[in-house]
Amino acid sequence: MNSCPVDFAGAQLQAMGSGALWWPDQALLCVSDLHLGKSERMARRGGTSLPPYEAQDTLARLSQDIEKTQAKTVVCLGDSFDDRAAALALEEDARQWITRLQAGRRWIWIEGNHDPGPVDLGGTHLAELALDGLMFRHIAETSAKGEISGHYHPKAVLQTRARAISRPVFLLDETRIVMPAYGTYTGGLRCDANPLAALMAAGAEAIMTGPHPTRIPMPR
C-alpha cells in the first residue's frame, strides 16, 4: 500500500498517499474535507466556473481507497459537502455512487462548518466520534489528546534541487493529527502559516501526500 506508518496514541495508522488515513485494527478509513459540490456552489454564487466533475473524481479516488483497504467503517471528517445547498443539488449519479460505497459498511458523517446539518443520504451523522482512545472531529481543539481533525487543508512546500514541490500534507505531533483535504477542488493553507503554525507543537512532522508519501519536519 502507498502509505507511511504512523504510531499515534497507541494506534498503528497508515497515512496514505491519497490523503486518506487507514486504521487497520479497526478496519477504518478516514477522509476529510471532500467538499463535494464545490463547482455547483461557486457557479451558484457567481464565482469562477469550474468543470463540474469534482464529485466524480473525488468519489473515484475514495472508491479506490475503499477497495484497497476493504474498509468496514468510513469516517468523513466534516465539510463533506461545500454547503447544505450543494449537498441537496448533488447529481443523482453521485448520490447513487455514495449509496453503493455505503453498502455493507458503517458510514459516519462528522459535522463540519460547511455542512453542519444532516443531509438526505445514508450513514450516521455525528458531531464527533470517540473510538478506542482516538477522537475524530472536524476542527482541532487546543487541549485535545489523541485527536484527528481536518478543516485547515494543510499543505507544505518541499524545495528540491530541481524545483519546489507543493502538496497536501498530514500534520502530526504527540497529541493530534490534522488531515489534508481529500476533495479534488480544495485549496490549502501552508503549514508555516497561522493557525497551523501555532496549533502544532514544536517538533511536529508533516507527511506529504503523493506517489511516495514522505515524512519531513513540519516547515516553520
pLDDT at 57: 87
Q: Give the model confidence (pLDDT) of 161-210 as tens digits.
A: 778 778 999 999 999 999 999 988 677 899 999 999 999 999 999 999 99
pLDDT at 205: 97
Q: Give the model confidence (pLDDT) of 124-159 as tens digits.
A: 999 999 999 999 999 999 888 999 999 999 999 877
pLDDT at 1: 80
pLDDT at 41: 46
Total-model pTM? 0.91
Q: Residues 216-220: what's their mean pLDDT? A: 91
Q: Give the model confidence (pLDDT) of 74-102 as tens digits.
A: 999 999 886 666 666 678 888 899 999 99
Q: Give the model confidence (pLDDT) of 20-61 as tens digits.
A: 999 999 999 999 999 886 555 444 444 454 555 778 889 999
User: The cell 501552508 sits on which residue?
Assistant: 190
Domain 3-217 CATH assignment equals 3.60.21 = yes
> 66: burial class by Cβ within 10 Å (0-12, 13-18, 19+)?
middle
Rg from Cα positions in the chain:
16
Distance CA 72, CA 10 (A): 21
How confident is residue 118, by pLDDT bands cut at 50, 70 and 90?
low
Burial 128-146 (b: 16+ CB within 10 A, else e): bbebeebbbbbbbeeeeeb
Q: Where are the domains of the chain?
A: 3-217
pLDDT at 186: 76
Q: Residues 114-118: what's their mean pLDDT? A: 71
CA-closest candidate to residue 150, choices 192, 183, 117 = 183
